[in-house]
Amino acid sequence: MPDQAPSPGLYQQLLTEGLEEHLRDLQATLVDTDSLDPQEAPRLLARHLAGLARIALAHLSGGATPEHQLALVNQLVGLLQSQAPRAISTGDLLHPSTRLLSEIRSTALLPGQAATIRPLIPLADSTLLVNASGEPSVGQALIHEIPSAQRIDLLCAFIKHSGLRLLQPALSEFLQGQPRRSLRVLTTVYLGATDRRALDWLVAHGAEVRVSYDTRRTRLHAKAWLFHRPGLSGASPASTAYIGSSNLSTAAMHDGLEWNVRLSAHDNEGILAKFQAAFESYWEEGEFEPYRASELEQHRFDRAVREESAGDSAADATPVSFFDIRPYAYQQEILDKLSAERSLHGRWRNLVVAATGTGKTVVAAIDYARQGGPGRPSLLFVAHRREILQQSLATFRQVLRDGSFGELLVDGQRPSQWRHVFASVQSLAGIDPAHLAPDTFAVVIVDEFHHAEAPSYQRWLAHLRPTLLLGLTATPERTGGEDILHWFDGRVAAELRLWSALEQGLLCPFHYFGLHDGTDLSRIEWRRNGYASEALSNLYTADDARLRLILRELADKVTNLAAMRALGFCVSVEHAHWMARKFVAAGLRAAALDASSPREQRAEQIRRLRSGELQILFAVDLFNEGLDIPEIDTVLFLRPTESAIVFLQQLGRGLRLCRGKSCLTVLDFIGQAHRNFRFDLRYRALLGGTRDQLEQQIKDGFPFLPAGCSLQLDRVSSERVLANLRESLPSRRPQLLAECRRVGRCSLAGVLEGLGMEVGEFYKVAGSWALLQRELGWLAAGELSGQPITEPTDDEKRLGRGIAGGLLHLDDPGRLRLYAEALQRPAPPDLAGFDAASERLWRMLMAQLWGSGRHHVPLAEALVRLWAAPALRPELVELFELLLERTDHLVAPLVWPVLGVDASAPPVPLRLHGRYSRAEVFAAFGLLNDSRPFPGREGVVFDEATRCDVFFVTLKKSERLFSPTTRYNDYAISPREFHWESQSLTRESSSTGQRYIHHQARGSRVLLFVREENKRGGVTLPFHCLGFADYVSHEGERPMAIRWRLQQPIPAAFYPELAVAV
C-alpha cells in the first residue's frame, strides 16, 4: 500500500488494494479510471509484477544473496508453469550456478586471440549520451558496438568523410569478417552535405547504400543506428540502437553538444521493433535509390549535391540518362482508380484533381504508357505555357524511355508528323480544327483543365473524338460558375487527398488556427448555395470589432509580419476593398482585387505581393484557381466557406513549396454558424475519415496530422464546430425522417446526395432503407406484397439489421451483379442447380444477412424467408447497384498456386483485393455451412481440403488510438512484402512452424486477409484479401516473426494503412 495518498495528476497505474483504499477517501467525481485493455494487460501486469519482484529480491528475509534470490525466482517460474504449461516449461528455470551467459563463439579462440569486443554500455542497459566528461563519446560507443553486431542499419541525413573515417577501421573489419555481415545505409543529398567519398568507401567495402535525390523535399532528418544481434529462443534479442542528433561528422561523433539515446531491446523491444519496421519500409520505397558507385551514379550524385548546395533544384531538366520513374503510392492510387473507371465502369473521359506540384504530369505519362495496342496511340497534350509543355514532354520521354518521342506545337514550332503533339492552346487557337479528322488523336490530355471553358479550348474539345480524354486540374470549381465536369459525365475520376500530398512532403506543411470572431451567423438568411452574401458583407463591415480581432491575431500568429505575403478571402467586393482600406490605415501594405480589376492591374498587384511590396491581397473568389505564387505564406479565411472544393482550393494557394518557407499560416475566423452550415465538409476533405472520427479528432486536439502540420481550434471555436457536427447531419431516426421529408421522395442515391451523407452514415441511423421509406409513407404497405403490412415483421427487422451492418463493404462486381439479378426474380434460386462455388456465394450473403453461429439459418430456409420479405429485396437490389456504381478499385480472380499435379482451382469464390468479413471467408472455403454454423475466431485457420493456411490479421490490436507496443507486430514492409508474427507459442521446430517455413515444398498455401482495426465508429471492419504469399525468412520463435512475399502487390489505396512509414 502506498505510504501517502496520491496527489492530483495524470496516471497510468494499476489499482492495487492499497491505492483503492486511498481513492475511497476522495470524491468519486475527482477520480477517473479506465478498463484494462486486453491487449495491453499482459505488459502492464508484468510491469507491476517486475517492480514488486525487484523490491522483494533486494529485501529477502533470509538474506539477499544470489542463491536465495534465484530460489525465489524459480518458485515464481514454477507457479507460472502450473498456470500456463504450454507457454512456460522446466527449461525456463534458472540454473543454480547463478552465472550470466556472455558469449557463444563459432570457433575456439586461438592463442593470443582476444574475445569479441563488447559494447562500452552493457547490452541490457539503456542510457542518454551527451558527449559529456566521464562518459563515452557517441563515436567511441559506436566503435565498440560494431564488432559484435550481426548486421547494422544506419539512417543518416548526411554522412561526412571526416566522421566516417573515425569508424572506418571497425566497419572495415566488420564488413570483411566471416560469416559475412551486412551494413545498410540510407542517406540523402540534403543541403549538399553528404560526401561522395564517404559513400564510395562504404560501397567499396561491401555496404549497401541507398540515397534520396529528391531536392525539393527532404523528409529524412533522422540520425540513427540499429545493431542487430540474435537472442536466445523466447528471449528478447541482444540488439541495441542509437537515436539522436548526431550525423556522421567529427563534431557530432566526439565533441559536439549532441544528445543520443542508446536503447537496449531488453527494456525497449517495442521501440527497436518500430525502428526496424520503419527502416525496412524506407529501404523498400522508391524514394531511396541504390548507389553502387558506378561512374553514372557518381555523376548523378555530384550533380544533385551541387544543385542542392547552390539552392538550384530546378537546374537543367534534360535528363543525363533514362532512369525508371516509379509512381509514389498516392500517384499509383490515382492510376488504380483510372483503371477501375475504364475497366469496371466503361468511362473513358476522366478528370484527375490534384494540387499543383504533386506530379499530375507523371501520372498522365504513366497512364499513357499503360495504354495497349500496337505502337503508341496518337496523342495530343495541351497546356497553356511553353515551359509546362517542355517539362511535360521531358517527363513523357523519361517514362517511355524514348528521347525522340513527341513534337512541340508552340511559339512557331510546328510538328512534322502530327502523331504525338504537345501543343499550347494559343497555337491551337490559330489552327482550324476542321483540318484534322476528329479521330486524329486516340488520347487527348489537357493540363490545367479549369481553363477549358475558354473558347480557345472549346472548339477543339467539341471537334475531337478521342478514345481517351484525360483532364488534369488542381481547381475543378471555377470562379465564374462554369461547369467543367460536363466533359467527364459529371464525375471526378480520381482526386489526390491533400493529406497524402502533405505526408509525402509534396506540399508545404500548414499551421491552421480556428479562431472564434464573436459573430452570430445563425440568423443570417440561408439560401440554396449558403449564406446570403450581402447580409454577411453588411455584418462584417458594420464596425471595426471583428477587424481589431483579425489584426490582433495576425500580429500574434504570424512570425514576421513585415515579411508576410498573404491572401485574404472575402465575402464580397465591398468587403475585400473595406478590408484593404482598414489594413492600410493600420499600417500594413494591402490591396484588393476583384473580377472587375483589369488584367494589367491584377498582374501588377501579384508582382508586388511576390516581391514583398505588398503584405496582403484581399479578393473575392478570384484566387480560388489559376494562381501560382509559391511565396504565399499566410491565408486568411474571412468568410465562412462550406464547399470542401473551394476550401481546399483557397488553402492550396499557400501550400506550394518554396525555399525559405517553413510552413503556411492559416487563420480561419469562425462565428456562430447557421444550423444548415456544415463544418464537417471542410475538415473531412482536409483530414479524411468519418464524421465520428472527425469528432474524436477535434476532442483530442488533432493529434494525428502529417509531419510539420498543426490544426488548433480555440475553445469557443471547438465548441461551435462540435455542436455543428452533431446538428448538421441527422444522428437520430426522428431527425433523419425530418431531413428525408425535406429532400423529398427519391432513390437511395438521391437521398444520400440530398442529405450529404455517406452510405455507411445513413445506414447507421436508418437501419433499413425500405422500412424507412414505409415509415415516411413513400412505400405503401401492400405495394409489393399485395398484402397490407402495418408493422415490420421480425424477419424484416432482422434482415434490415443485416443489411445495415453486414453488406456495405461488398466490392466484387460479379457478386453484386449476381445478387442484384437474382433478387429481381419472383422465386429464390434453386439449390439443386448450384455448383459448389455458387452455393458458397449464397452462403456468404446469407451469413451477412441472417448472421452465423446461434443466429445461423439453413441456406434453403434463409432464401425462402428472404423472398418472403418483398420490401427488402428491392432495397438490396438498389443497394447493390449503388455499391457497384461507387466501387473505385479493381478485384481479380485468385490465382491458386499449383500443388503437385493438380492445377485446378478450388471452388472458393473469393477475389484478390476484395473485402470480406470473417464469416464470408469461412463460407467461401466451405467451413461455414448448415452442419458447421460457427465461424472460427482464431487468427489462423488451416483448411485441409485446399491445403491452405488462412491468416486473419488485425494491425491495431488495441482499442486505443495509439498503442506503441502492439502496432509493430504485423505490418507491410513494402507493397510486395509483409511482416507477420505467428501465434505466441509457435516454435520454429513445431509442425506449424515447419509448415510455414516449408509450405511450398510440403504442398500448402498461405492466404492473407488484413484489416487496420477491428471496429471503426462501432462498425466491424472487413478484411482485405491480399492474396497468396510465399515464405522469405523468419526471426525468433514464440512467436516467429515471418517475412512473406506477396504474389501480387498491395493496392496503393490500402498500402498506407498497412505500412509503418510511408
- The pLDDT tens digits of the residues spanning 703-732 come to 888 888 899 999 999 988 888 887 776 778
With CA atoms as reference, report the closest residue to 504 among 707, 326, 256. 707
What CATH architecture is 506-700?
3-Layer(aba) Sandwich (3.40)
CB atoms within 10 A of CB 290: 10
| CA dist 945 → 314, 843, 908 (Å) | 60, 18, 11
Contact between 317 and 238 (Cβ < 8 Å): no
The pTM of the whole model exceeds 0.85: no
User: What is 691-738 written as a DSSP string?
Assistant: HHHHHHHHHHT-----TT-EEEE-HHHHHHHHHHHHHHS--SHHHHHH
- The pLDDT tens digits of the residues spanning 484-536 come to 888 998 899 998 877 777 877 788 999 999 999 999 999 999 887 789 999 99
The mean pLDDT value of the chain amounts to 87
Position 964 confidence tier, pLDDT thresholds 50, 70, 90? low
With CA atoms as reference, report the closest residue to 596 among 569, 581, 568, 577. 577
What b-and-e string marks burial along 314-328, b requiring 16 or more CB atoms within 10 Å of the CB? eeeeeeeeeeebebb
| Amino acid (one-letter) located at 997 | I
Contact between 703 and 712 (Cβ < 8 Å): no
Residue 495 CA to residue 98 CA, distance in Å, equals: 64
Q: Give the cell for residue 956.
A: 491495431
Residue 545 CA to residue 73 CA, distance in Å, equals: 72
Q: Is 121 helix (H, G, I), strand (E, B) or coil?
A: coil
What pLDDT does residue 315 have? 39
What pLDDT does residue 945 have? 92
Q: Give the cell for residue 1035.
A: 526471426
- The pLDDT tens digits of the residues spanning 16-58 come to 888 888 888 888 778 888 888 888 888 889 899 988 999 999 8
- The pLDDT tens digits of the residues spanning 325-375 come to 778 888 899 999 999 999 999 999 999 988 777 889 999 999 999 997 677
Please list, in sequence order, all residues whose beta carbon lies within 8 angstroms of the beta carbon of residue 499, skipping any fewer than 6 positions away. Answer: 686, 687, 688, 706
Contact between 117 and 141 (Cβ < 8 Å): no
- The pLDDT tens digits of the residues spanning 908-947 come to 999 999 999 999 999 999 999 888 888 777 889 999 999 9
Q: What angle do CA 215, 220, 225 make, to 5 degrees?
A: 140
Alpha helices in 285-423 (DSSP H): 295-310, 329-343, 360-369, 386-400
What pLDDT does residue 966 have? 53
- The pLDDT tens digits of the residues spanning 871-888 come to 899 999 999 999 999 999
With CA atoms as reference, report the closest residue to 914 among 889, 936, 946, 937. 889
Contact between 430 and 459 (Cβ < 8 Å): no
Position 252 confidence tier, pLDDT thresholds 50, 70, 90? low
Is the pLDDT confidence value at 236 over 80? no
Question: What is the maximum span of the chain, computed from C-alpha positions, in angstroms?
Answer: 105
Is the pLDDT confidence value at 313 over 60? no
Residue 921 CA to residue 942 CA, distance in Å, equals: 13
Alpha helices in 489-643 (DSSP H): 498-503, 533-540, 545-557, 573-585, 599-611
What pLDDT does residue 853 have? 82
Please list, in sequence order, all residues whose beta carbon lies within 8 angstroms of the beta carbon of residue 832, skipping any fewer than 6 positions away. Answer: none
| DSSP-assigned beta bridge partners for residue 288 | 212
Contact between 832 and 899 (Cβ < 8 Å): no
Contact between 515 and 712 (Cβ < 8 Å): no
Q: 893 preceded by cis ω (within 30°)?
A: no
Please list, in sequence order, all residues whose beta carbon lies within 8 angstroms of the beta carbon of residue 700, skipping any fewer than 6 positions away. Answer: 961
| CA dist 776 → 763, 797, 803, 888, 999 (Å) | 16, 16, 19, 32, 57
Contact between 206 and 223 (Cβ < 8 Å): no
Percent of the chain residues past pLDDT 90, beyond the cut: 51
Alpha helices in 729-811 (DSSP H): 733-743, 748-755, 759-766, 769-776, 794-806
Q: What is the CA radius of gyration of the chain?
A: 33
Q: What is the DSSP-derived secondary structure letter of residue 922?
A: H
Please list, in sequence order, all residues whose beta carbon lies within 8 angstroms of the beta carbon of residue 556, skipping any fewer than 6 positions away. Answer: none
- The pLDDT tens digits of the residues spanning 644-674 come to 778 888 888 898 888 888 899 999 999 999 8
The region, left, alpha or beta by phi > 0 then psi within -120 to 50, assigned to residue 571 is alpha
Residues of the chain with CATH 3.30.870.10: 127-310
- The pLDDT tens digits of the residues spanning 758-776 come to 899 899 888 889 989 988 8
Residue 445 CA to residue 363 CA, distance in Å, equals: 11
Q: Is the dihedral of CA 860, 863, 867, 871 positive or negative?
A: positive
- The residue count of the chain comes to 1062
Q: Is 772 helix (H, G, I), strand (E, B) or coil?
A: helix
What pLDDT does residue 1061 have? 66
Contact between 336 and 1053 (Cβ < 8 Å): yes
Q: What angle do CA 335, 339, 345 make, to 5 degrees?
A: 140
Please list, in sequence order, all residues whose beta carbon lies within 8 angstroms of the beta carbon of residue 982, skipping any fewer than 6 positions away. Answer: 940, 992, 993, 996, 1039, 1040, 1041, 1042
Q: Tell me the mean pLDDT in the region 614-634.
A: 80
Is the pLDDT confidence value at 251 over 80? no
Position 785 confidence tier, pLDDT thresholds 50, 70, 90? very low
Residue 155 CA to residue 168 CA, distance in Å, equals: 17
With CA atoms as reference, report the closest residue to 72 among 87, 90, 60. 60
Superfamily of chain region 127-310: Endonuclease Chain A (3.30.870.10)
Q: Is the dihedral of CA 760, 765, 769, 773 positive or negative?
A: negative
| CA dist 546 → 330, 559, 584, 974 (Å) | 40, 21, 16, 51
Tell me which fold the domain 329-496 belongs to.
Rossmann fold (3.40.50)
Beta strands in 216-265 (DSSP E): 223-228, 240-244, 260-264
With CA atoms as reference, report the closest residue to 593 among 574, 564, 620. 620
Matching CATH number, 938-1058, of 2.60.40, 2.60.120, 3.10.450, 2.30.280: 2.30.280
What pLDDT does residue 477 have? 65
Grid cell 564510395 in the structure block, residue: 200
What pLDDT does residue 318 have? 44
Q: Is 367 exposed, middle or buried (0-12, 13-18, 19+ CB in 10 A)?
A: buried
Residues of the chain with CATH 3.40.50.300: 329-496, 506-700
Position 451 confidence tier, pLDDT thresholds 50, 70, 90? confident
Position 1031 confidence tier, pLDDT thresholds 50, 70, 90? very high
Contact between 312 and 189 (Cβ < 8 Å): no
| Cα distance between the two ends of the chain | 47
Residue 816 CA to residue 891 CA, distance in Å, equals: 12
Residue 566 CA to residue 840 CA, distance in Å, equals: 61
User: What is 118-135 written as a DSSP string?
Assistant: PPSS-TT--EEE---TTS
Q: Give the cell for residue 904.
A: 485446378
